[in-house]
Homo-oligomer: A and B are copies of this chain.
Amino acid sequence: MSMTRRLFELCGTDPARIFSPYCWRIRMALAHKGLEFEAMPWRFTDKQALAFAGHDKVPVLQDGDRAVGDSWEIAKYLDAAYPDAPALLRGNPDPYVFINAWTDTVLHAGLARLIVSDIPPLLDEADRVYFVQSREARFGKTLAEVTAGREERLPAFRASLLPLRHALRGRDFLGGAAPDYADFIVFGGFMWARVVSALDLLEPEDAVHAWRQRMLGLFGGMAGATPAMTA
């Protein structure tokens, strides 16, 4: 069996423009564990490329003869397969489930209503058609309508981050003194926004802003060096 490690990640026309928040969780997780990987740029309509793994969404991690889909399953797999590398779900995965749930239902939902209309211009034509049709069906309106008036809605979005702000009081990371998978879960949402949208989500004096800067600098500035729409 080959010992190749490959991460299939959602991107736009530019293969460096990785924007799925779930893919970012795993990209950061692999760096945290010190595991090299080959980036496999993937687009929404390229279902066939994942058929080997029995999945139709990314992230998919191919690790030698194993293929694992779903970011949460991949995180658990990495801790089980590489117990000597720094843990992602330290001690016990259960309390991280709530952080996952908040991120999926509050942070991502709030971000989508601010940035979803910025995504289509970054996509190949086939992906653009798929994305616009599926998202307009989900929202029941055009993507321009979804994000209309977004500048006026920024204060409400920022207020929705209050639990995050409180959880960072007196700590550099959600993981405490050092980042762990809690940080990667939440940071994925901010990378999604950063790669696709020029909208300034955070005020510079916000503790969440300072935390995001620390996250951008991790692993030699890996996330910060990714092509983005915001500085």
Contact = CB atoms under 8 A, between A and B. Distances in A.
Contacts of A166: 101, 104-105
- Copies of this chain held together in the complex: 2
A153 B104 CA distance: 24
A167 interface: yes
A214 interface: no
A207 to B, nearest CB: 12
B174 A105 contact: no
Contacts of A163: 98, 101-102, 105-106
Contacts of A9: none
Contacts of A176: 94
Given A91-B91, A91-B92, A92-B90, A98 B174 contact: yes
A175 B94 contact: yes
The prevalent SS among residues of A at the interface is: helix
A162 interface: yes
A102 B161 CA distance: 10
Contact-residue bracket for chain A:
20 to 34
A182 interface: yes
Given A91-B91, A91-B92, A92-B91, A97 B162 contact: no
Contacts of A171: 97
Contacts of A174: 94-95, 97-98
Interface string A59-93: 00000000000000000000000000000001110
A154 interface: no
Contact of A102 (B92, B94, B102): B102
Interface in A98-151: 98-102, 104-106
29 contacts: A90-B91, A90-B92, A90-B94, A90-B95, A94-B174, A94-B175, A94-B176, A94-B180, A94-B182, A95-B96, A95-B99, A95-B174, A95-B182, A97-B167, A97-B171, A98-B102, A98-B167, A98-B174, A99-B99, A100-B167, A101-B162, A101-B163, A101-B164, A101-B165, A101-B167, A102-B102, A102-B167, A105-B162, A106-B163
Nearest 4 pairs of A and B residues by beta carbon: A91-B91, A91-B92, A101-B166, A95-B95
